[in-house]
Amino acid sequence: MQNTHLVKRRVIGVDISNDRTSFAIVDVRGNIIAQNHFPTDDYKDLNHFVSKLTEEILMLAEANGGYETIRSIGVSCPSASVVSGCIENAANLPWKGLVPLEAMLRDRLGIAVAVGNDAHTSGLGEHMYGSAHGMKNFIVVSLGVGLGSCFFSEGREHLGMKGYGGEVGHTCLVDHGRKCACGKEGCLEAYVAANGIVQTAQELMAESDQPSLMRDAKELSPRIIKEFCDQGDELAIETFRRTGYLLGIGLANYASLVSPEAIILTGGIVHAEQWLIDHVRDSFESHVFGNIRGKVRLLVSDLNDGEREILGSCALAWEVPEYSLFK
Ligand SMILES: [Zn+2]
């Protein structure tokens, strides 16, 4: 006989990125019980993608304690709004325009689903399971292909009217500056996310004849530039110094508005470690509003890559009110 009073103590977190869709069953303590993934770009048709994801979620749940033990599902995806439940004009995903992913998954899966953008869910993940645990006012900045961010005020995330609160990556740093992927010019993201760092390296190489390992590299990425820093390459070191200086200005402006107790940096680029972070700190302290100078902690997330995205979407899953077609 079905137990209608079963307390559901597990959720499923889904992380959609342009190349891979990962999903996992996670318990109330944040333990990952089981996980799997498939290539996102094999499913350029939206209906095929939703069918594949639904099928995979059901299989994983059935193989690990049963679908009836799952409370809800949280989905993290670039350009998604938790307010509309839609992916809205994602630049790097195969599905264009407005994609009502939350409604599509809820219809097929029959339980509560919440969809939010990756910046928002990484904030939730840091708050529930990571470096921001116990904090009320903090900023999370994710540095990778893009620059995502969200901030919490008095213990709640600030979503804004449309669910995009905290988009510091697309605030203007340089008037008529570099072209940004969003279509504007001079955005912070265009200088400090992955492509921006590579562009800075190319500009530095063009400015002088100084020898550099970067000149002979087949391709450049923040990871490769960091390796050259470790080998003492001066232009590589200068690349991260400039990046850190500009990021420090962006974060100082952000902190001066929000007055957080901490800024938590996450994402692939934080692996540049001291080559970047020390310069961010120096620039931050010299640009931030005087009354909060020395009082905002700049932290690097202690959640692992891969784990962070899943835990963030699970934190979102716990926020959505429970609902089931099967009761
Ligand atoms: Zn932009």
pLDDT tens for residues 235-272?
999 999 999 999 999 999 999 999 999 999 998 888 88
Cα–Cα distance, 168 to 235 (Å, whole number): 27
* 57: confidence class by pLDDT, cuts 50, 70, 90: very high
Q: Which pLDDT score is estimated for 264? A: 96
Q: Which of 321, 266, 305, 16 is nearest to 139 (CA)?
A: 266
Q: Which of 21, 25, 45, 22 is nearest to 33 (CA)?
A: 25
Hey, what's the torsion of the CAs at 151, 134, 249, 192, to 10 degrees? -70
From ligand 1's centre to the CA of 191, what distance in Å? 10
From ligand 1's centre to the CA of 187, what distance in Å? 5
From ligand 1's centre to the CA of 92, what distance in Å? 14
- The pTM (predicted TM-score) of the whole model is 0.88
pLDDT tens for residues 194-239?
999 999 999 999 999 999 999 999 999 999 999 999 999 999 999 9
Q: Which two tokens stand for residue 243?
A: 């990046």
From ligand 1's centre to the CA of 174, what distance in Å? 11
With tokens 């938590």, the residue in question is 264
From ligand 1's centre to the CA of 52, what distance in Å? 32
Q: Which pLDDT score is estimated for 205? A: 97
Cα–Cα distance, 252 to 102 (Å, whole number): 35
pLDDT tens for residues 4-52?
556 788 999 999 998 999 999 999 999 999 999 999 999 999 999 999 9
Task: Say if residue 1's pLDDT is above 60.
Answer: no
From ligand 1's centre to the CA of 253, what distance in Å? 16
What percentage of the chain carries pLDDT values higher than 70? 98
From ligand 1's centre to the CA of 214, what distance in Å? 27
From ligand 1's centre to the CA of 320, what distance in Å? 30
pLDDT tens for residues 176-193?
999 998 889 999 999 999
From ligand 1's centre to the CA of 94, what distance in Å? 20
- Average pLDDT of the residues in 312-317: 96
